[in-house]
Structure 1
Amino acid sequence: MKIDSATLQAPSPLAVAERGPTPSGRITPANPGFCKVLGHIDPIDPKAPPIKFQVNLPVEWNGRSVQYGGGGFNGVLITGLGLPPAYPFDKPSPLARGFVTYGTDSGHESKPGEPPQVFALNDEAFENFAHRAYKKVRDASVALMERAYGKKPEKMYFMGSSEGGREGLTMAQRYPDDFDGIFARVPVINWVGLQHAGTRSGLVTMGEGWINPAQVKLFADAVRTACDKADGSDKTLVHDPVACKAVFKVETLRCEAGKAGDQCLTEAQIKAVSTLHGTYKFPFVLANDLDDYPGWGVSGEDTPAFGPTGGWSAWWLGRAPPAQPPAPNNGIAWIYGAGGIQYVFARDPKLDVTTYKVEDHKARLLEVSKLMDSTDPDLGRFRGRGGRLIVLEHMADYAQSPYAGIRYFESVERKLGKAETAEFARLYTAPGVDHVGSGAPANVDMLSALVDWVEKGKAPGDLEVTEQKVESPSFAVLRAMPLCRWPAWPRYKSGPVTEAASFTCAP
């Protein structure tokens, strides 16, 4: 560990940007006086990049810390100064509450104009991205806290979303003694499966399979018509997307013979949707005895893009059919998946992805799966030392399939037992919410829920999520809903559909 700089930062005010990559990304919370430490950890391989990190040491420390996870393929320094995943916009930031906060770039820096997966050509850089960087930065941060305050932290927490959610589960599985509480939102746990399923879903939209924005709305309207009334509220939100996926049939939108247009789907487009919804199957077994990736669900297909994110158009389809090399107007799943095939699995930047065959790269897939797939259900050691885990899946997520996280949680229950799992872990599912928290109520203070569980023994039950206006200083609540423990869903009782009290959680 080498300290590059340490500067005392004066208290800063709340600021809200006009635009941002996510709703919470527009908010720079008010922070107190703190010491900002920038550092790096040198690599073993001189050709590998260093691991950069930032640690924020508040003047008034509460004895706790929060490590923030990253996103995508990382390559950007996570400062720990923003809001953690799902965090209400109007709550004091963890740093303002007295937590030491910190994050890392995971051991590489993304450069403008380069594919985000270039770093994966270096073995050490990729292993740092997989798990080593987060462990090394965690340990370096503990050493800094001890140096600054004269003692180690009393409790340590990890909060991450997407790739950061995978990192959180990685820490619970690989380093079960390091954290007391972990929150993993929309975790990309079956990483190898996601890259291949995302690529496959892109390949079927090349040419005639691509679906235009008007047809996306057609599909989303059909889903709402078929499923929205089931809970009794009839307010454009599918409350039980699992049941909806079972009953909704894309074939009902098939064009009549010889016809095409915005009011129906062609055979190629129906095949594309069925591919998205279907399971991706590998011809061999990957880490933890998995050989597939579950398909995506229904609802939220036309969620408006918030910056680059939202619904099918952002994650799956983009604004144009997939290109090689991936273009900026392609869907994010194609940009990530096709680039992953080239740089991570085939390790051939010039590969024509349409010619890629999984069987030809079995050894590399097994190697990557062992590094990246956070799918080990044996959390016995984490549970045994008092660790607490909360997983949150968004059911209108098209960046990764929420069914992967649901399946993982159920595998933990099978491994350890349902009653035993309930002692230390929770899975929540949020209907209508996309990957980054748009589309439906999604804000909830999971940090306080973890602290209460870890430090007071208060296990969380069903919670409440809110949708807030990104407008300071009030951040007014637009609507609220129950956040139900899996496998329950919000059921409408009576009253205003914008209030959580109008619903109950029911299986």
Structure 2
Amino acid sequence: MDVGNRTKAECDNADRRRPTMNRQQASAIQAMCAFLLSLGPWVMPAAQASVNCTQSAVQAIAPSSTTIVAATTQSDPVTYCDVVGYVTTLHPGPNQVNFELTLPAEGNGRFLFIGNGGFGGDFSFPEVFPDFESIPDLTKAGFAIAFTDTGHQGNFLEGAWALDDEAKQDDYLFRGVHVTAVAAKTISNTFYGRRSRSYFAGCSDGGREGLVEAQRYPSDFDGIVVGNPAIGRAIPGFNWNQEHLTANAESYIPPDKLALVDAAVMSSCDAADGVTDGLIQDPRKCSFDPASLLCSVANNSNCLNEAQVAGLKAVYAGASEANGRIIYPGLMKSDPAVGDNWATWITGLVPPDAPGTPEPWSDPALAPWQFLFQDQVLKFFVFGDSTYNSLSFNLNSSDLTKTQLVMNRGGAEGANPDLSSFQTGGEKLIIYHGWSDAAFSPLETVRYYDAVTVSRAASTIQSSLPDSLWLRVCNTASVAARVRMCSIRCRRCLNGSKKEKRPTR
């Protein structure tokens, strides 16, 4: 695994505002777009539109399962055809997977699919990416760009749409991106009169989507860029954290105590990489023990109580069964307070008003996102009961098996290490993960990469090419909330990623 080492000056320029799903997704996609825009030396000649931008004309070139709702000519930042439609999915179904496709009048021969965050539920720009500026840049550069809502409309934190609806679940878990990619690429290729190079870029759940594509639908994209992927059994991991941090009022760790932990971690681990520079390059080497902050007499602002120390240790250790088997690895110790990192995702910006109950935060808008995601998934996907108490979930019971059966349907966990079909077609895969991600453990991404390496060793086809020619993975220095822009500057991880020539099948 390549670890991209960033300078302190680079990282000091990172955006340290409070994270939101949209900002995080936008930052990741912006970086992917910058990467795509940097591939100028092998851009194909300009492709002129050969189909009129009207609903009827685009419908005529769409697959039979696709309905075009509208096709309109737009002029900002350049002239392009804005296509809105949906794919009807069946077995289970029927369900509608809505999508939007932008087709510049002068294309550059490349198609980009942008993945989702959270539960998805929308595809409209700029609503999906409120402060994202690279989509216009990409459109101006000639990229055809596609988005999807993955088969439902709703808030990215809300999962009630999944209750008793297997079709919508499947479209979200694994099917929606695929059917949209097939439809959008078919339209794009015919619109320009030639096949385009196709790429996928996604972060968080979009990262999971990208790996599911590589594993289940290896011919959908020529190149896939995955960031902070929500792979593996993250939901049981979220549940583990919340059970340990919401058991009682004493367990809650307020933002000021997270700042205390943050400072102690930096003091303990800054020099672990051999340089004292205010940057923890590899948090795996950090030996900070939260017990060092345990209050000796009474609680005060400069120490932690026993419940807070125990909660931190549980989050660091990760979710495990009684026999010690790790279900989902723990989070890194670095940057819990930067950008309200942990407060947004794990602990909450305000204390729970009903600790120890099924709904610790009576107002869901105040709950940390890990609580909301695990609560919504367990209620509406796994147990099919809107009254289910997610904090009663038991890792040492059939609850875990049932969760995996549902959430890994169609390989939706994205953890299948067999990438032989993807790699032998000449496709390329780049994976990155910010060490300080407070949502998904970077150790799960490391674990996945190691599993791919083992799988390759057992495959003559896969092992015939070195990793550097088709797969690059980078973890990035601890900087700010989740990935931010600093984590994308691991240019060394992009070596060999240009798809100049396909290997012979």
TM-score by length of 2: 0.76
Instruction: Please name the residue that 2:435 is paired with.
Output: 395
What's the CA shift for 1:200? Answer: 1.7
**Cα deviations by residue, 1:276-317 (Å, 9 ceiling, x for unpaired):** 0113125799xxxx9611111111111124xxxxx1111101
Match of 1:365 in 2: 404
Sequence identity (%): 26
User: Is 2:99 aligned against 1:60?
Assistant: no
- Summarize the Cα distance change of 1:415–1:340 in structure 2 as closer, same or farther, 3 Å threshold: same
Match of 1:96 in 2: 140
Match of 2:152 in 1: 108
What secondary structure does 2:408 align onto? Answer: helix
Letter in 1 for 2:332: G
Letter paired with 1:102: A
| Change over 3 Å in CA distance of 1:175–1:120 after alignment to 2 | farther
Q: Hey, what does 2:70 align to over in structure 1? A: 5
Aligned twin of 2:271: 229
Give the corresponding residue for 2:313: 274
Q: 1:194: Cα distance to partner?
A: 1.0
Q: Is the 8 A contact 1:36 1:54 kept in 2?
A: yes
After TM superposition, give the deviation of residue 93 of structure 1 in Å.
2.7
Determine the structure 2 residue equivalent to 1:442.
487
Kept in 2, the 8 Å contact 1:80–1:102? The answer is no
CA 1:321 to 1:198, structure 2 compared with 1: closer, same or farther past 3 Å? farther
2:390 aligned with 1:353, yes or no?
yes
Counterpart contact for 2:242–2:391, Cα < 8 Å: no
Change (3 A) 1:442 1:262: same
Going from structure 1 to structure 2, the CA distance change for 1:294 and 1:178 (only over 3 Å counts) comes to same
Q: Whole-Å Cα distance in 1 between the matches of residues 170 and 270 of structure 2?
A: 44
Q: Secondary structure at the match of 1:228?
A: helix
C-alpha separation in 2, matches of 1:81 and 1:455 = 35
Larger helix share, 1 or 2: 2
Residue of structure 1 in register with 2:224 after alignment: 182
Query: Does residue 412 of the first structure (1) align with residue 452 of the second (2)?
Result: yes
- Please state how far the C-alpha of 1:46 moved relative to its aligned partner: 9.5
Question: Deviation of residue 356 (structure 1)?
Answer: 2.7
Going from structure 1 to structure 2, the CA distance change for 1:169 and 1:90 (only over 3 Å counts) comes to closer
Residue 73 of structure 1 aligns to a residue whose secondary structure is coil
Q: CA deviation at 1:265?
A: 0.9
Quote the Cα distance in structure 1 between the aligned partners of 2:130 and 2:140.
Answer: 13
Instruction: Output the CA distance in 1 between the equivalents of 2:84 and 2:467.
Output: 38
| Secondary structure class of the residue paired with 2:487 | coil
Work out whether 1:454 is the aligned partner of 2:454: no
Judge conservation of contact 2:428–2:497 (CA < 8 Å) in 1: no
Structure-2 change in CA distance of 1:187 and 1:432 (3 Å): same
**Structure 2: 5+ residue stretches without partners:** 1-65, 458-462
Q: Which moved more, 1:144-153 or 1:391-400?
A: 144-153
One-letter code aligned to 1:130: L
Distance in 1 between the 2:126 and 2:431 partners? 20
Q: Which amino acid aligns with 1:338?
A: D
Give the partner amino acid of 2:392.
Answer: T
- Provide the alpha-carbon RMSD of the alignment: 3.1
Residue 140 (structure 1) aligns with: 183
* Residue 376 (structure 1) aligned with residue 441 (structure 2): no
Q: Is the CA contact 2:119–2:155 (under 8 Å) kept in the aligned structure 1?
A: no
For residue 316 of structure 1, the aligned residue among 336, 346, 358 is 346
Secondary structure, in 3 states, of the residue corresponding to 1:389? Answer: strand
Shift of the 455–433 alpha-carbon distance from structure 1 to 2, 3 Å rule, reads farther
User: Quick one: distance in 2 between partners of 1:230 and 1:356?
Assistant: 38
1:96–1:456 Cα change, 3 Å: farther
**Partner-residue secondary structure (3-state), 2:245:** coil
- Within a 5 Å distance, the mapping from 1:3-402 to structure 2 comes to 3-12=68-77, 32-44=78-90, 49-77=95-123, 79=125, 93-110=137-154, 115-153=158-196, 155-190=197-232, 193-206=233-246, 207-231=249-273, 233-244=275-286, 247-256=287-296, 258-282=297-321, 292-305=327-340, 311-322=341-352, 324-325=358-359, 327-358=364-395, 359-361=397-399, 362-371=401-410, 372-402=412-442
Q: For residues 101 and 80 of structure 1, what CA distance do their matches in structure 2 show? A: 13
How many residue pairs match? The answer is 419
1:390 shift after superposition: 0.4
AA in 1 matched with 2:291: E
What is the TM-score normalised by the length of structure 1? 0.76
Q: Which amino acid aligns with 1:454?
A: K
